[in-house]
Amino acid sequence: PGRHGRPERAAQVLVASNRGPVTYALRDDGTLDARRGGGGLVSGLSAIGPDAGALWVCSALGDGDREAVRRGVAEPGVRMLAIDAAVHADAYNGIANSVLWFVHHMLYQTPLEPVFDAEFRRQWGAYRTYNRAFAEALAAEAAPGAAVLIQDYHLALAPGMLREHRPDLRIGHFSHTPWAPPEYFRMLPDDVAEELLLGMLGADRLGFLTERWAKTFMRTCPSVLGPYDVVPSWPKDQAPSVTVRGPGPAHGRTWIGVHGLGADAEFLRRRSHEPDVEQRMAALRDEIGAGRRVIVRVDRTELSKNIVRGLLAYRTLLDEHPEWRERVVHVAFAYPSRQDLAVYRDYTAEVSRIAAEINERYGTAGWTPVVLHVKDDFARSLAAYRLADVALVNPIRDGMNLVAKEIPVVSDAGCTLVLSREAGAYEELHEEAIVVNPYDVSGTATALHQALSLPDGERAERTKRLAAAATALPPQQWFLDQLHALEELGEGE
């Protein structure tokens, strides 16, 4: 047996991601408290569960996780890597969240950012080390010919590194983010852009959430990999691929797949009727007040989610449609995310400031226009989903946005979705949603008014169709489709 009580090279199916299904907090009394990880990636992959027999390799993220690794505490089917904390911080905060996330979501304020200097180069070295640690762990755990599904922008180099160690494996990589347009991606230093793409193209198959992101990726390849012979191809009714030849070692063909992760209807419907959710519904109803319409949004407090413009749109609604005053409440849950980064902390403060300003300006003795909560609470999110008449999902750019898919499934009386055209979910949901340009605050206010004014019958009908589209590809099937596609590829392709 290997170091972890399992025989080495035993796993037939492996998943790798930075954030794993659980994260541990160290309590004052020295015990460890396990919590579910947040974000779309974990929501999607959690459906796999330990029963599927897959080994999930993830990173220790904080002191609690590191302590769990030290004590040998682990969930079944999960292996946490305690990579050096400084290396992890540079790779995760420095490169993944401050560079790659910003590139793919086009978040830079370009007159001053980005600056790729010596500090960036140092962090880039850590990103390589971090990816190598994953590649080595996967190489040690994977059975001959096993399937390995590597997740997201944190691990863009790992596929190529793993292939060097273990050419026998079937390697997949999945992007949970949008893909940047080639001209934006090319802000990255040329050698870094090239290394990232070649790292990903070391996989047999790359997955994206929508056709839009897959196509942008395919356009990026020839534009960055100038010295190579690059052939992207998307023949009608056949699988798309990117083929790369020389200079240097042969690369070959990488298949491209589109898998639009859907909501897990069965889990959500069951979970949203448990007693803790009912309790929170009662508490929320008290905060909202009887007989009022409810506009709900639930996000990580994330720069790309556009929470500030959403609040400004709500303020515009109250200004321009005074008939809604006292008759509507905006329930906004903005859960802390990536608080090591100053720009996220500032954004969080701005969200709270604007919500308070709206309440100050419009609130009355019996009416609080914005109910903002910032403490992460999954049961309370589900309670808000059930109460929603309108769901506001207005990101400036988003790989998918699972909240847009979850609310229509859970909402009790049906809800109208106000949806950004820049969210991946737009591809599947736009026909039944009220679509907005996320930068257009006036337009979003008008959309909120329309959504609130929709007759009950029409709202219910639309909700049914939204829920059907949102659950077309449940997480388990989403995962199995990718696994099967990978297993069907001949070895060495």
Contact positions vs ligand G6P (CB under 6 A): 19, 38-41, 152, 176-177, 337-338
**Closest to ligand G6P by CB, 19 or 449:** 19
Residues 460-467: contacts with CB within 8 Å, 24+ apart? 460/413, 460/414, 462/414, 462/416, 462/417, 462/432, 463/408, 463/411, 463/414, 463/415, 463/416, 464/414, 465/431, 465/432, 466/408, 466/417, 466/429, 466/432, 466/433, 467/265, 467/408, 467/409
Report, in Å, the least distance between residue 440 CB and ligand G6P: 25
Strands 170-174 and 142-151, sheet pairing: parallel
**Closest to ligand G6P by CB, 315 or 338:** 338
Residue 372 dihedral angles phi and psi, to the nearest 5°: -105, 130
Task: Determine the Cα–Cα distance for residues 387 and 367; give it in Å rounded to an integer.
Answer: 17
Report, in Å, the least distance between residue 151 CB and ligand G6P: 7
Report, in Å, the least distance between residue 218 CB and ligand G6P: 20
**Closest to ligand G6P by CB, 266 or 340:** 340
Report, in Å, the least distance between residue 152 CB and ligand G6P: 4
Report, in Å, the least distance between residue 37 CB and ligand G6P: 7
For residues 418 and 451, the answer to whether their CB atoms sit within 8 Å is yes
For residues 51 and 66, the answer to whether their CB atoms sit within 8 Å is no
**Closest to ligand G6P by CB, 420 or 463:** 420
**Closest to ligand G6P by CB, 337 or 416:** 337
- How far is CA 392 from each of CA 205, 418, 438, rounded to the nearest angstrom? 34, 5, 11
**Closest to ligand G6P by CB, 209 or 354:** 209
Cβ-closest position to ligand G6P? 39
Q: Helices (H), strands (E): how many in the chain?
A: 19, 17
At a CB cut-off of 8 Å and minimum separation 6, what does 151 contact? 15, 16, 17, 18, 41, 45, 173, 174, 176
Report, in Å, the least distance between residue 216 CB and ligand G6P: 16
Report, in Å, the least distance between residue 450 CB and ligand G6P: 29
Report, in Å, the least distance between residue 185 CB and ligand G6P: 17
**Closest to ligand G6P by CB, 44 or 160:** 44
Nearest to 158 by CA among 178, 185, 131: 131
**Closest to ligand G6P by CB, 177 or 368:** 177
